[in-house]
Each structure stands twice: as structure tokens, then as C-alpha cells.
Chains A and B, each alone.
Chain A
Amino acid sequence: MTAIVCKDLCKTFQQGDEIITGLENVSITIEEGDFVCLSGPSGSGKTTLLNAMGGLDTPDSGQILIGNTRLDQLGKGALADMRLNKIGFVFQSYNLIPVLTARENVEFVMQVRGVPAKERASRSFKILKEVGLQGMENRRPAQLSGGQQQRVAVARAIVGHPALVLADEPTANLDTLSSSQLMELFVELNHHHNITFVIATHDVRVMRYAKRLIKMQDGKIISDDTQEQINTRDK
């Protein structure tokens, strides 16, 4: 089954008098259960592609399909619903709501969806346990380490069983140990729950966990390899 399809995506930005190319005819198909890393230098278009795939930004042209729904044709409200029900986000700088506890942050998405309180509580406790934060449910973000905050963000991203989790530089603010723990968590979730991950990163250690590595440069895809192809090439 296909998780998401992008066809001929183009996106430009105006910066003063200059027009910058964010994406240029980008086409990719990501299968369900895939574990994809988007790599490339800063300004290569990774985040722009991720934002477009997540419905946070709309491309100038091209198509984005999740199931039978074309994201590029949806209005603001419908895009919000799509993000709420089909997509999970993990951001670089944790991005938790500071006034809510870990549990409440995880429950936030379910609450917006209208999930009953009892079910929200049971699912959030379960998922926080799964990401290794048992006993820390009632701590606020300021009382958690960077790694722990990112785990809360992961729990929030996956608690609604999304078709796709998009992670933008999720390890950028973490130390080596926390980074590898987070990536192992991603792999575990991908393996056990068949959750599709698309991770934008320029961290080589993160790329090693990918089943598929897409390299970008100047808004274009310059290579799209499986881990086996990379390993074979490296040998």
C-alpha cells in the first residue's frame, strides 16, 4: 500500500527581489511501513518537501496524494483535518505545549479529535510507557530533558495511529546517546506498528537507520537508494 505520493512538486519563495527554488519537479512514492530519510545540505528542500507532504505548505504546482485525497487541493480546514487524522509531526525543537504535562501534550491531538477522556488517558499512559516515560506523565516539558521531551513529541505524533510520521531534524538538539535512543525508538515503532517514517536530516548517524535514503540538492532529488544499494555501493 502506498502511504504518500508526490508528483512533480514545484515550490518557489520570494526573498526580496530574489526568487528561490524550494522544490523543482520532485516526485516520490513512499510505501506504507517505509522508513525514509531525506538528506541534503541546508536549503536543499528537505523541510519544504516535508512541509508540503504534511499539508503545512502548499506547492505551486504538482500533486500530493494520501490515499485518494489530493492534499494540494484542500482548503485550510480540510488540511488541518488531514494533519489531525493522517499525519504525525516530530519537530527539531521538541515543540511541546509548555503549560501542559507530558500526558496532556500526548492527549492534545486526541482531544482535538474528540476522543473520550477515559480512552485518551488509557492510550496516553500506554504510549508514554512504550516510549520509556513511565512515571513522568505528569511532568511539564520544563521538567524533562531534551531527549525526554522529544520522546513525548514522538508519543504525541504516533498516539493517533497516523498513516505517516514526518520528522524534521528530530535529533538536531539531542546529544549522541539521546539521538541513538530516539532513532532506535523510531525503528522499533516502524517495525512493530508498521508506522511509516519520513525523516529530514543531515545527520549521518540518523541516515544509517533508514531503509531508504533520498538525497536532495537545490530543490531536486539527486538520488533515491535503498539501504542495501548504499551498502553495496560503499563496499
Chain B
Amino acid sequence: MLTLAWRNLWRNHRRTVIMLAAITVGVWAMIFMTALMRGMVDDMLHNGIRNLPGEVQIHNRAYRDDPSINNSIPAPDKNLLKALQSDTVKAWTQRVRVPAVISSERDSRGVTLLGVEPQSEVKIGFSLDSISEGRFLSDNNDDGLVIGARLAERLETRLGKRVVIMSQDPKNNIAERGFRIIGIYKAKLASLEERYVYTGLETVQTLLKMKNRVSEIAITGEDYRNVSSWYPAIEKAAGKNMQTLPWYQIDTYLSSMLKMMDGFVLVWIIVVFLALSFGLVNTLVMAVFERVHEIGLMQALGMRPSMILYQILLESLLLLIIGLLAGNVLAIGTVIPLQDGIDISAVAEGMEMMGSSSILYPALKLNDMLLANTVVIFLGVLTSILPAWRAARFDPVEALGKE
């Protein structure tokens, strides 16, 4: 049956090659475009999660409604520390995160003051390469300030200058102090450079009279998509008094974007397939139409209608498999050379508005490839059923009479 299907496929070389080319290009378009879109969304999500930051955060239960200093939490206890040291946790850190006002001698701005543990902050995602001038914080007591390049520009200040940070302590008293700018960082998104300023955790705790309390504990795993598999253990260890939330519950915009992307990928694959299916059905209808006599002969020789159906579907399946193989190879072959990123700085501002950066890194995901292949095989066989079913219903005497 396989031999017969294979040889029938190559009876009309030109038609088969054209159809294979169409399937190959279609599959390539599915996978390549999905990789580009996935890369863009991955970037947006990574940036989004970096803004949070952390894939899972532990807060005071009231913190999300009122992210003030009063809604802080204690440092992790033994139980939580044990959970945070499990294999599923890639890195974790604790921060004080409060709204503040930064003033230079020229201007003032509202910012988010982050009191961080420098070592664990780097592990969780702060890139030292993003420091464009000066240095990052050295320890929890570091009283230097790291600000974004755009903020420095707005405040008309620079590295080594002093600025004043003003916030409120738990008793709603003004807490302020002068900081020297020890580092300036550049972020993928300019808006982040304006928002976040960093100093040592204990420096902020002292300034705001918080003792050992923090605003949040942030945790990351190996893959932001797999958070649901490990965050319940953290939640349990954190206890009921604290609120443990994964990134998709903290930022519902990001999670709906991911869901929308998954839906869009499926729609895109189906749309491309629909365009392909016309060619596929046409090829099979022609192949059946040209072989009416032969199909009648096979029936006369004792082939059951179900076997005729199977035979035609097998031809379709072979065509699809070859097209899929070629399409996959072509897609992998075009994505791999682009792994270092595609410069789309010409439209960078527009991309930034969407939360994406100016370099697009195509993300070739096994799941996306499997989805494209499954859709093509499943719908391909499904659309082939009609011509195959018609062939199986031929009357052998009439079919034998046709040349």
C-alpha cells in the first residue's frame, strides 16, 4: 500500500512538486512567523516580569491594594527559607519597594525606591551589563544610589552628584536623606530608567525605620511558563498571612497577552493551512479523477471501499509528511541564523510602547512546531477525506468503463 501510494504520488511530478512547495512554504510561514511573534511576546513578558520583578512575589495581603510601607512583611522564616532553597527556585531576593520623590538641584521626580540585596538582585535578573556609568551596589549597607540614564537626564544630574530621596516612614513621617549617585543604568525600556532607583536594603530599612521588614520577596524559576508547577509549595511555606502570587496574577495584562498570543498562533496556523488546503484538495481530486478506471480495477480485484479510502489518505499523508519535513527544516534553517536578534530599531519607539525592545529574538519553541505539525497533519487528513470518500464510493462497473 505504501509503495503504491508513494509511486502514485510521483506519477505527476510537476503537480506533486508544486504542492510540496506550497506545503513547505506554508509550514515555514507558520513556524517562522510564530517564532517571530513568540520572540516578541517573550521579550515583552520578560521585560514585564523584570518590571515586577520576579515570577512569583510574596507580599502582605493588603499590599496590592495599598502598596505603602505599612503593608510590609517580615524577612523569610525557616520554613519559607527551606522552600526558597529548593531546586525549582532559580533565585530569590527580598526588597523594600516604596514610592518616593527624588530631587536634584534642578528638578524633582516621583520614583519607586528599591532597597535591594545586590547579590541576589543580580541573580534574579538585574543585569550588571546595564550599568553604563559607575557601578552597581556592593552590599546591603551600600548607601550609594543607582538611577536610570533617562532619569539622570531629566533631573539634569550625573554620576557622582548628590540627590535627595524623600519618602514616608510607617508613622507617616517624612523620611529623607541625601544619596550620591554611584551608578547609572540603561534599561531595554526607557520608561524603566525613569521609574526605578536602587540602593542597599538595609540603608532603606534604616531610613524608613523598618527594622527587618521588607515590602516583597521575589522569586524566579527556570521558565516563566512553568510557574504553576512550583509556586504552590512556596505559597504553602509562606503561610496564610502572606499573599503569594505568580506573575500572571500580579499582572493580568501580561497573562492575557500570553493567552492571546497562544490563540493568535493557532489562528495564524489555521489560516495558513486553509490557504494550503485548497491546493491539497485540488491535488487529490485531480489524482482521484485521473485514476477512476484504476480505482475501479482495484475494487474489482477485491479492495474494500475502506481500503480505497485508506489508500488515498495514505497518499495525502505522504505528501503532508514530506512537506512538513521540508517546511520544518527550512524554518529551523532560517531561524537559527537569526538567533542573535533582528534589529528593528527603526520601529523601536512603537515597540517600546508595547513593552518590547528594539532587538527581536525569534523564539523557536518545540510546542509551537508540534502545534503547526499536528494542525497540518490533522486538518490535512481531514480535508483529504472528501476526495478519498468519493473514490471509495465509485461503482466498479462504471469506474472500469472510464478511461
Contacts and interface: CB of A to CB of B under 8 A. Distances in A.
Interface of chain A, main secondary structure: helix
A171 B246 CA distance: 82
Contacts of A95: 293, 297, 400
Interface string B374-396: 00000000000000000000001
Interface of B: 1, 3-4, 7-8, 11, 293-294, 297-307, 396-397, 400
Interface in A106-159: 108-109, 111-113, 156
24 contacts: A56-B300, A56-B397, A77-B305, A80-B299, A80-B303, A84-B301, A84-B302, A91-B297, A91-B300, A91-B400, A95-B293, A95-B297, A97-B294, A97-B297, A97-B298, A98-B294, A99-B11, A100-B4, A104-B3, A108-B298, A108-B301, A109-B302, A112-B302, A112-B303
Contacts of B304: 76-77, 80-81
B101 to A, nearest CB: 82
A57 B397 contact: yes
Contact of B396 (A56, A82, A99, A113): A56
A127 B72 CA distance: 91
Interface in A61-117: 76-77, 80-85, 87, 89, 91, 95, 97-100, 104, 108-109, 111-113
Contacts of A98: 294
A51 interface: yes
B7 A89 contact: no
Question: Main SS of the interface on chain B?
Answer: helix
Contacts of A87: 302
Given A80-B303, A83-B302, 18 more contacts: A51-B397, A56-B397, A56-B400, A76-B305, A77-B305, A82-B302, A84-B301, A84-B303, A89-B301, A97-B4, A99-B4, A99-B7, A100-B3, A104-B3, A108-B301, A112-B301, A112-B307, A156-B301
User: Interface residues of A toward B: which range?
Assistant: 20 to 34
A219 interface: no
Contacts of B306: 77
B400 A80 contact: no
A170 interface: no
Contacts of A57: 397
A81 B7 CA distance: 25
